[in-house]
Amino acid sequence: MNEETKERVAVEDPRVVLEVEGIGKEFNGVWVLQDIALQLAEGEIHTLVGENGAGKSTFIKLLSGVHKPSQGKIRVDGRDLTFSSVRESEIAGIRTVHQEINLVPFFTVCQNIFIGAEESTRVAGIGFVKDREMKKKAERAIGLLGVKLPVTTPAHELDASMERIVQIAKVLVHSPKVLILDEPTTPLSEEERKTLLQIIKGLKKTGMAIIFITHNIEEVMEVSDRVTVFRDGHKIGTVERKDASPAGIVAMMLGQELQRLQAGGLLFLRGR
Ligand SMILES: Nc1ncnc2c1ncn2[C@@H]1O[C@H](COP(=O)(O)OP(=O)(O)O)[C@@H](O)[C@H]1O
Ligand SMILES: [Mg+2]
């Protein structure tokens, strides 16, 4: 293979980290998600969009081991995996910032970041938690997110945007292979949103594969490599961001609802 061919292959065939085939979920006989296929490559930001209730969070809960899929396959680095727990998904290198905030109010920022993942060492057979090292790592992760926040602050003193920042720091300390962010920008101020988008782009450059969920079309257009649209528990399609327009994405999200809205608008005008 000469140099030219090698480069072309690398561009056309990015390394797929995560592959999902025909995945779905039913709760008590109701299918809330069906037959979803998706690929995620190294160094890719793959955005999921869809109206409320479209199934986005359920989808990522299948990837993060919160729920067990009712159908389909998950493949990480080419290996078929079945996640029976969140831990198993984490071991595969997948870390998720869920839409719901789940910090322990009376734990500090540092304790929340390392909850269930305390680092310890053994000296003469006795285990010691490495407090100082954890504090340093927590400070680094918080610093990376562009905010000033003492890691000794108890979580109940944080406002909504700081809670989100801590939740993100909590996954970043584990340097995941696949990072999933479920509507991370929702409670953030304009300034914090900008910082977070820059950070996500920076993580992409390190080769991290990122699934990003947002309601904000501007954010979709700013950060995505590819965009997958969900509607009513189905995947409507995946488009390259460079080929996509905001109006096109909204049309995919709304489907017939958009036609109804447009038809309604025309009727309204005629009526006048
Ligand atoms: N644990 C559950 N039990 C039953 N239904 C659920 C459960 N979780 C989600 N759903 C339903 O699945 C559908 C998709 O929800 P969700 O994945 O949260 O959508 P999105 O994140 O796109 O807003 C909704 O109709 C929701 O009510
Ligand atoms: Mg959701």
**Tokens describing residue 271:** 């009526």
Contact 17, 208 (CB under 8 A): no
Confidence label for 268 from pLDDT (cuts 50, 70 and 90): very low
pLDDT tens-digit readout, 166-206: 999 999 999 999 999 999 998 888 888 988 899 899 899 98
Q: Pick the residue whose CA is nearest to atom 27 on ligand 1.
A: 53
pLDDT tens-digit readout, 75-118: 999 999 999 999 999 999 999 999 888 899 999 999 999 987 76
- In this structure, the number of other CB atoms found within 10 A of the CB of residue 199 comes to 15
Torsion of CA 242, 245, 250, 251, to 10 degrees: -110
Distance (Å, whole) CA 106 – CA 99? 21
Q: How far is the CA of 242 from the centre of ligand 2 (A)?
A: 25
Distance (Å, whole) CA 5 – CA 18? 25
- The sign of the CA dihedral 11, 15, 18, 19 is positive
Mean pLDDT of 50-70: 96
Decide: 24 in ligand 1 pocket, CB within 6 A: no
Q: Pick the residue whose CA is nearest to atom 5 on ligand 1.
A: 27
- In this structure, the number of other CB atoms found within 10 A of the CB of residue 263 comes to 11
In degrees rounded to 5, what are phi and psi of residue 11? -70, -45
Domains and CATH numbers, the chain: 15-101+175-271 (3.40.50.300)
Q: Which atom of ligand 1 is nearest to the CA of 213?
A: 21
Confidence label for 121 from pLDDT (cuts 50, 70 and 90): low
